[in-house]
Amino acid sequence: MEDESTPSIRLVTMDRAASCTIFTRSDGKEARFPLDPSPFEDTSVIARLDFSPALAALLATTLSGDQVLFEMPLAGAAEQLAGRLVVYLDQNQWSLLSNASHGAPTSSEADRAAALRLGEWVDQRRIVLPASAGHYYETGKRFSTDKRYDLGLTILQYSRGWQMRDPLQVRRNEIHDAFCHRLDRPDNKRSAPVFTLDSDALHSSTRIADGVAEMSSVFQDHFVFQPEALVAASGSIDAMLDTQRVGEGPDTGWTAVSQRFSDWLDELDQDSQQKRRVVDIHLVTDLQRELAEEAAAADVSKELFRRWGFKGWVRAIGESPAVGLFREMLQSRHLNKGTRWRPNDLTDMIYLSCAAGYADFVVCEKHMRDPLQHGLKRMGRSTPVYRRLADAVTDIERALETRSVRANPIE
């Protein structure tokens, strides 16, 4: 009697030069379909995409022969972070890592050693270096095509598909879950992981008009793969390495508004606690839509929402890891007389407060590290924040050694 087992797809290849998609089965047979029209734009540097369902991995090869390996999410699988430490690098640290990885003359021996160690730990699945939408944006607007490619390649190769969920979505999730906590409805909490392989994590649905329809397909019996994740991963790689520079984007006016508010606060004849309340009013006003919408999503009645009032809303914000840290950073900077606001400060504050709320280590610039550390201290949190990558690597190594000893105790 013949074996009734059904052959499974072992490899899916999209070959730009051959202009076809190739499905390779476990029995060695292939099926080829033409790429018509081609999904590759003229500015794309992707030459080939290989996806292995068995390994849950996507391998992208560029026209220059460089390769990027992405881990892929599996629906219903166990936590894929698997105990790895999360190290969040600010954009300036990614630039340092890129220079060290590509042998830039400005790199020091300490930088190169730090880059080498981080790469080893990523390959050994001991740490993850998640990318964020902020990294994509900051990289895409660099003027030099070659430097932009090198930086984008570094971020992709080291992050391996791991992302930090959009801070705007994390903020909404935190507010929603804080309301659920007050209502004593733990089963209604979203509890979405902040560092994840999820295909919908990089950009919040609030940034996308209609979203993307969900779909899933069984590739083999061992797991369920999400096809939209393959589209998202290949799109992310392609976008990061695209040869066309991304523009700066419109001026939202946030910097000017923040500067006027800080200047006005400097002249206000009040003590620091009174000024903190003024900053809280400023923040709650800015978040009023999110607060109202997430209260409704958590099934908070309008009467109860009004009864909680300003103090209740501030409490929901202040007890949340990411938006609570953002609040502390905002207060710290506004209360610091003579603060000068820069166009990129809002981006830095939103992404770094989210990262420090959940990551194991954060490395960033000094002007953001100081208010971040102050905020962490006020919230009673202990996330280590560094301004030098080499210093962070030393402590990461110590943490990894401690974990190793705990996992393999000496009898």
Measured distance CA(328)–CA(342) in Å, rounded:
18
* 355 shares a domain with 237: no
What is residue 103's predicted lDDT score, i.e. its pLDDT?
A: 86
What is residue 406's predicted lDDT score, i.e. its pLDDT?
A: 67
Q: What percent of the chain is modeled with pLDDT above 70?
A: 91
For residue 254, the SS3 value is: helix
| Mean pLDDT, rounded, of the chain | 89
Give pLDDT tens digits for 165-190: 999 999 999 999 999 999 999 999 99
What is residue 320's predicted lDDT score, i.e. its pLDDT?
A: 95
Give pLDDT tens digits for 132-168: 999 999 999 998 999 999 999 999 999 999 999 999 9
| 288 in any annotated domain | yes
* 352 shares a domain with 229: no
* 348 shares a domain with 235: no
* 367 shares a domain with 277: yes
* 352 shares a domain with 275: yes
Q: CA angle, corner 9, sides to 5 and 10, nearest 5?
A: 110
* 273 shares a domain with 143: no
| 376 in any annotated domain | yes
Give pLDDT tens digits for 50-91: 999 888 899 999 999 999 999 998 776 667 898 999 999 999
| 171 in any annotated domain | no
Q: How far is CA 149 from the centre of its chain?
A: 20
**Number of Cβ within a 10 Å radius of residue 313:** 22
Beta bridge partners of 2: none
* 350 shares a domain with 298: yes
| 133 in any annotated domain | yes
In this structure, are residues 324 and 331 in contact, taking their beta carbons and an 8 Å threshold? no
Measured distance CA(177)–CA(297) in Å, rounded:
10
Q: What is the pTM of this model?
A: 0.90
| 248 in any annotated domain | no
Site of tokens 């630039």: 95
Instruction: Name the residue among 339, 348, 328, 329 with its Cα closest to residue 260.
Output: 339
What is residue 77's predicted lDDT score, i.e. its pLDDT?
A: 63
* 297 shares a domain with 221: no
Site of tokens 């009697």: 1
Instruction: Name the residue among 392, 342, 341, 336 with its Cα closest to residue 364.
Output: 392
Q: What percent of the chain is modeled with pLDDT above 90?
A: 74
The domain total for the chain is 2
Measured distance CA(239)–CA(226) in Å, rounded:
20
| pLDDT confidence bin for 286, thresholds 50/70/90 | very high
What is residue 251's predicted lDDT score, i.e. its pLDDT?
A: 83
| pLDDT confidence bin for 410, thresholds 50/70/90 | low
* 317 shares a domain with 227: no
* 368 shares a domain with 221: no
Indicate the residue type of 214: E
* 154 shares a domain with 51: yes
Give pLDDT tens digits for 304-345: 999 999 999 999 999 999 999 999 999 999 999 999 999 889
Provide the domain limits for residue 29. 9-162+197-203+215-241
What is residue 126's predicted lDDT score, i.e. its pLDDT?
A: 97
Q: Which two tokens stand for residue 73?
A: 């999410």
φ, ψ at 240 (rounded to 5°): -65, -35
* 334 shares a domain with 394: yes
In this structure, are residues 366 and 353 in contact, taking their beta carbons and an 8 Å threshold? no
In this structure, are residues 202 and 214 in contact, taking their beta carbons and an 8 Å threshold? no
Across 5-9, 166-170, 203-207, the highest mean pLDDT is recorded for: 166-170
| 16 in any annotated domain | yes
| 334 in any annotated domain | yes
In this structure, are residues 44 and 238 in contact, taking their beta carbons and an 8 Å threshold? yes
The H-assigned helical ranges of 46-202 are: 91-101, 109-123, 133-140, 145-159, 167-182
| 393 in any annotated domain | yes
